[in-house]
A = this chain, B = another copy of it.
Amino acid sequence: MDTQELAKRILNGERRALARAITLVESGRADHRAQAVALLDELAGHKRQALRIGLSGTPGVGKSTFIESFGMMLTAQGLRVAVLAVDPSSARTGGSILGDKTRMERLSRDPNAFIRPSPSQTEMGGVARRTRDAVALCEAAGFDIVLIETVGVGQSETVVAQMSDLFILLLAPAGGDELQGVKRGIMEMADIILVNKADGDLKPTAIRTCADYAGALRLLRKRPQDPEFFPKALTVSALEEDGLAKAWEEMQTLTGWRREHGHFDACRAQQARHWFEEEVRLGLLARLEKDPQMRAQLAELGQTVAAGQASVSGAAADMLRRLGAG
């Protein structure tokens, strides 16, 4: 199938065409990459806009259950929902989303939903690019919501937040010392914190945990892109499908406010510029690193610098000289 035909089918919302296109953007082969870029360019300017929701949560917080319940609620309202994953560890663990897909049984059978496993590779830059491309493809295919989930390994939350309109942090009820389980730097990116498992015996703990996080959020300065009372913490029960409508309402309130005040579009434009420049940077560095001799020199000089045998500026100047035109 040629690129134009594939683009047409994606714009028609054909799932198999979408799946095929995502496989294309995930490929590491140079000829596939060229086709992928041609396809993405063919699709640029379609004006369709999904709400991109980033979702982070460590294993055990009930992320799959939440995505399924939340996704089913949205599709029941006639919304089309795509679920993508950024999981830099999936290559090592053998694909954690395989389990997710099994667990999201109902949602994966829903004609209004599309679930895509995480691309299996460990390198963060590559994962970011492929996921970002997949988001663009889902948007072109007419999805209303694109959920981008991450298990929160290393830099993945930052990457997901940089390609999302909203960043949601899903947490489990916890008492005392367990509260320390939230990684530094993640809380500060959250637009909304959802404390899951607010059901049964855990309900009182969930409510207390939620109040603790609400308190911690109040210590942070209000961001210009936020209306009053945001970011906020809420309790939900993915299991009993409780609090999900309220959570969705808050997401819409925040999104609506940002759209109204121009922050939504400004943020998207900033993200697009960020990824473009990042991509040019990565491309330039990739050229460097493709060259075995250059790669060896970069590693060697890096080692010298780390050992304190050369100055950072001196070694960098040296490296740039070797690359021609210092």
Residues of A within 8 A of B (CB): 25, 34, 36-38, 40-41, 43-45, 47, 129, 132-133, 136, 177, 179-185, 187-189, 212-213, 215-216, 218-223, 268-270, 272-273, 275-277, 279-281, 283-285, 287-288, 298, 301-302, 305-317, 319-320, 323, 325-326
Contact at B309–A132, with CB atoms within 8 Å?
no
Partner of A316, one of B25, B283, B307, B309: B283
Interface class of chain A by DSSP: helix
Query: Closest CB-CB distance, A50 to chain B, in whole Å?
Result: 13
9 contacts between A and B (CB under 8 A): A44-B309, A180-B218, A268-B308, A269-B307, A272-B306, A276-B312, A281-B284, A284-B288, A284-B323
Across-interface contacts of A287 in B (CB, < 8 A): 325
Q: How many copies of this chain does one complex carry?
A: 2
Are A184 and B273 closer than 8 Å at their CB atoms? no
User: Is B221 in contact with A212, judged by CB distance below 8 angstroms?
Assistant: no
CB pair B311 A41 closer than 8 Å: yes
B314:A273 contact, CB within 8 angstroms:
no
Given A218-B180, A287-B325, CB of A44 within 8 Å of CB of B308: yes
A136 touches B219 (CB 8 A): no
CB neighbours (8 Å) of A223 from chain B are 184
Q: A219-B179, A221-B181 are in contact. Are A281 and B279 (CB under 8 A)?
A: no
Given A44-B308, A184-B220, A221-B181; A302-B273 close (CB under 8 Å): yes
Q: A276 to B308: give the CA distance in the assembly, Å.
A: 12
A177 to B219, CA, bound (A): 8
Q: What distance in Å separates the Cβ of A188 from its nearest Cβ neighbour in chain B?
A: 4
Contacts of A37 in B (CB 8 A): 311, 313-314, 317
- Cβ A132 vs Cβ B312 within 8 A: yes
Report Cα–Cα, A312/B189, bound state, in Å: 23
